[in-house]
Amino acid sequence: MIRSFLSRSPLYVLALYASVLIFLVYTCAYAYRKPFTAAIYEGEILWGFDVKILYVLSEIIGYALSKFIGVRILPSMKAGHRIYYIIGLLTFSEVALLGFALLPVPLKVCSIFLSGLPLGMIWGVIFSYIEGRRISEILNVGLSVALIVSSGLVKTLGQFVMDNLHVSEYWMPFTTGLLVYPVMLLCSWLLNQIPAPNEQDIIQRTKRAPMDGKDRRKFLRQFFWGICMLVVFYGALTVFRELRDSFAADIWKELHIEGAMIFTQTEVPIAVFVLVLMFLIVFVRNNRLALNIIYCIAVTGGSLMVFSTLLYVYGFLSPIWWMILSGLGLYMGYIPFTYLIERLIASLRVVSTAVFIIYLADSFGYLGTTGVFMVKNFVSADISWTVMLMRTALFSGFVSVLSIFAIY
């Protein structure tokens, strides 16, 4: 009934409905991934690791492995199976978080790994509702908002659960997931009512078809250099984003700034600014022109990461303004990436799926993140998280700018 109504409705009705649902479902997914990082787990050591680094590392390894699995599974996923993927993957993660609450510390590491294992595929499932439509950029707004603010929102919720429901650090992630679970079920069902792309969508944006192993190998051979540079670009930004995101609680503590709302406070202005930029791209019909605009935004973002960090180092910026501006620079490259891939495929007129390229880039990005966290624990243990973030901002910003020039 809802699907039939949306099929007959004006395009703006579908755009509004889908954007809101995409935002809500992806925010629900974040409630199973990020709340545990709001806790400090101060003073705990296991196997030579600071225990929080170990938990974050385990979750990221699971998440990265999920991306590699997603490269094989998601490009061939049937549209009718998407809702089962969403509910099944998030339910698996919630059960694993129960293990994180109940089991001894060594097994908590396994539990947090298992909780991350299904979550890396959620983005691809949700994005499959978006790609290949005339309104893809508008629908991407919901996903983009979620990418920027959801982590802060669910960490604020996690902190609220600890402060007001008097739940321990280890029970907090499961409790947060449990509170969100009914909302996730309802929103997933509503999202699944979105009708398939119509003929006009296919004409303007190229047909998006499942890719088997042969198709993926052919696509890689055909566009190998460009794909490598896209992976380097996105990977560099992923490392900075994950460090900034996973250890935000530790960084704010080092900067002597407290309060549950700080996790959300710095992200909202970033979301507003980036989304205004992205919304303007919707009105650019020429795919080549849209690509050039996205390249310029990404280069500006990488430069902003570098210069805002240098200004903070030399005392010209406050900690909050540095976090806002470096985060803005990050998301000026990170958020347009999906728009970039969407327009590239439309411009090249190849039958494929954007999920394949994005998951390939994501996989290597999280591998790089794992390496950075290992270096922090074993080589640079005496360096604060704030200093680590500054160094990563300079490196990631510089690499992202160079890789965009190489692609262009």
CB-based contact 206:343 (threshold 8 Å): no
From 356, 358, 377, select the one nearest 366 (Cα to Cα).
358
Torsion of CA 163, 164, 167, 172, to 10 degrees: -70
More confident position, 385 or 223: 385
pLDDT (tens digit, 9 = 90+) per residue, 241-250? 888 887 777 7
pLDDT at 96: 94
Is pLDDT at 48 greater than 80 in this prediction?
no
Please give the torsion angle defined by the CA atoms of residues 365, 367, 369 and 372, in that order, rounded to the nearest 10 degrees.
-130
**More confident site: 390 or 199:** 390
Is residue 212's pLDDT more than 80?
no
pLDDT of residue 381: 60
Give the tens place of pLDDT for each residue, 168-189: 888 999 999 999 999 999 999 9
| Residue 366 in this model has a pLDDT that exceeds 80 | no
Q: Token match 């994180």: residue?
A: 100
Domain 2-407 has CATH 1.20.1250.20: yes
Q: What is the per-residue pLDDT across 92-121, written as a single tens digit (0 to 9) for each?
A: 999 999 999 999 888 998 999 999 888 888
**What are the boundaries of each domain within the chain?**
2-407
**What percent of the chain clears pLDDT 90, i.e. is strictly above it?**
23
Mean pLDDT of the 30-54 span: 79
| Tens digits of residue pLDDT in 115-141 | 988 888 888 888 878 776 777 767 777
CB of 170 closer than 8 Å to CB of 99: no
Is the model more confident about 23 or about 221? Answer: 23
